[in-house]
Amino acid sequence: MHFQSVTFDLDGTLLDTIADLAEGCRLMLEEIGAPPRTLAEVHSFVGKGMAVLVERCLTHGGQAPSDAQIQAAIESFKKHYAAVNGRLTRIYPGVSEGLEVWKASGLKLGIVTNKPAMFTEALLEHVGMRHYFEVVVSGDTTAHKKPHPEPILHACRQMGIEPRFNLHIGDSKNDIEAARAAGCPAYAVPYGYNEGEPVDSADCDALVSDLLAAYRQALTFKDLHHK
């Protein structure tokens, strides 16, 4: 196989966390006295990290909240989400089987997510996935979040792998853009959280139905564009 490592997005790629995120947002908005948001709205707000999620929840009719309002809401969200993190989360079909196959292949595996570390590590432990990954890069591990390439580059450095030999798998253009900028091939799954912009096969090296399909696709990968 061409690849020596694989980095995975977390929310929307491995785990369906939207019910927990929506509950954290509901409790936050209730506490600060802001209008509620629907599950569909929260779904569309996920993708660029906690602070952006909170800001989007507070933005109505183009009227952005103040910095003070955002900071107060972030502290409220942290408290409430920490209490529900993992409670309603489910593992997407094919993920457990896919991770077993990837791990058995001998490749190094990592997580690259925009979720803050305080939630990432707890969630991985809660669902019993932490042992699969050599490195976990969260939204506050580096100075930048996806779609900036630095989180993926950091993961590659930690694993001792050249970016062109790392495959990144995610669910949104944030993942594809980050991988492209890092010099990594990118696969995308069609489910998950994409901020209302579904990924297309033209955007990535392969659009795969699940992690098992990603593994089969990787076996035939030809490094034509990432030399």
Q: How far apart are CA 20 and CA 74, in angstroms?
A: 16
Q: How far apart are CA 17 and CA 153, in angstroms?
A: 25
Please state whether beta strands 5-8 and 108-112 pair in parallel, antiparallel, or not at all (unpaired): parallel
* Kind and range of the H or E run holding 13: none
Given 9, 11, 20, 171, which residue is catalytic? 9
Sign of the Cα torsion 219, 224, 225, 227 reads positive
16 catalytic? Reply is no
**Residue 227 CB neighbours (<10 A):** 6
**Which residues, in sequence order, are CB contacts of 105 under 8 Å at separation 6+?**
1, 215
List for the chain the helix, strand, coil content (%; round to 5): 45, 15, 40
Catalytic positions are: 9
